[in-house]
């Protein structure tokens, strides 16, 4: 089996310690198992995108012939993108099975654009499901670890926002309109500190994100890296209130976190 060659400027690197945690998360959601050490890792520091075999530009790719993952630019620090490629490696597939990327591992791996269009059509909703407001769900938020530091996991940590159906019947969350031409917002965060606040949210790009079985929980992992920078993945040191929401309904237990330099 042959595949596309390494992009120009690709450099091999050893996976950071946090990759084992990300690998474990991907194994857990997918129900698959494998060895992280079997994967060879490359990054292309000078590029924000790399080509697939057909020339399409992406943030990363898994090559089956060599079982290698290649990441563009700083994507090697973006947990959701890295876990996406890890899922390809665990599946041993370059395709995007809907049950894995949008079903079991939703909120753990990123799945947008090509990932969604490659997947099979969405299943029909449960005919017994009731339409409910997001306020009918239980919203929670946690930081893992609870005391992030640049000396712990090389400064990587996660904010996990959860939404749970507390009832014994299936429900479909009727999310508020987005106010633009795009889909409604689903999971989001707001981080507030002495210097102000910043927010970020994801859209309900697939219907499954609104569908909950009896007592089912859904989660979205927002990844961070201690330090200043231009992306949502960077979180400077300080004391902050970490708020999480689903469908505009905020968790009632937002933790105050000290992010150590």
Phi then psi for residue 209, to 5 deg, are -70, -15
Q: What is the mean pLDDT of each run of 10 residues along the chain (261 residues)?
A: 79 97 98 98 94 86 96 95 98 97 98 94 97 98 96 95 98 97 97 95 98 98 95 95 98 96 95
Task: Return the CATH fold of 130-259.
Answer: Immunoglobulin-like (2.60.40)
260: which DSSP letter? B
CATH class label, 11-118: alpha beta
pTM: 0.95
| Residues of each domain in the chain carrying CATH 3.30.2010 | 11-118
Question: Which ranges of 42-101 does DSSP label H, i.e. alpha helix?
Answer: 79-91, 98
Give the up-direction half-sphere exposure of residue 172: CA atoms within 13 A in the CB hemisphere. 13
What 3-state DSSP class applies to 13?
coil
Per-residue pLDDT, 3: 61
What local confidence, expressed as pLDDT, does residue 5 receive? Answer: 86
Structure tokens, 193: 């500190």
């Amino acid at each position: 089996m042959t595949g596309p060659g390494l992009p120009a400027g690709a450099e091999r690197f050893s996976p950071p310690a946090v990759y084992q945690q990300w690998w474990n998360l991907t194994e857990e959601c997918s129900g698959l198992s494998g060895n992280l050490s079997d994967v060879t890792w490359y990054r292309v520091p000078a590029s924000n995108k790399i080509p697939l075999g057909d020339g399409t530009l992406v943030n990363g790719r898994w090559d089956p012939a060599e079982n290698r993952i290649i990441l563009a630019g700083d994507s090697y620090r973006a947990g959701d993108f890295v876990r996406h490629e890890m899922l390809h490696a665990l599946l041993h597939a370059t395709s995007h099975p809907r049950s894995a990327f949008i079903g079991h591992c939703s909120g753990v791996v990123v799945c947008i654009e090509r990932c969604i269009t490659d997947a099979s059509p969405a299943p029909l909703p449960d005919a017994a499901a009731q339409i409910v407001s997001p306020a009918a769900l239980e919203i929670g938020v946690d930081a893992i670890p609870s005391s992030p530091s640049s000396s712990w996991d090389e400064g990587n940590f996660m904010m996990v926002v959860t939404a749970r159906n507390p009832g014994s019947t299936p429900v479909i969350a009727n999310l508020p309109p987005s106010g633009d031409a795009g889909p409604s917002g689903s999971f989001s965060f707001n981080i507030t500190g002495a210097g102000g606040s910043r927010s970020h949210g994801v859209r309900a790009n697939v219907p499954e994100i609104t569908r909950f079985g009896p007592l089912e929980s859904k989660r979205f992992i927002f990844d961070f890296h201690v330090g200043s920078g231009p992306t949502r993945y960077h979180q400077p040191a300080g004391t902050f209130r970490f708020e999480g929401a689903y469908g505009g309904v905020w968790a009632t237990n937002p933790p105050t976190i000290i992010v150590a330099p």
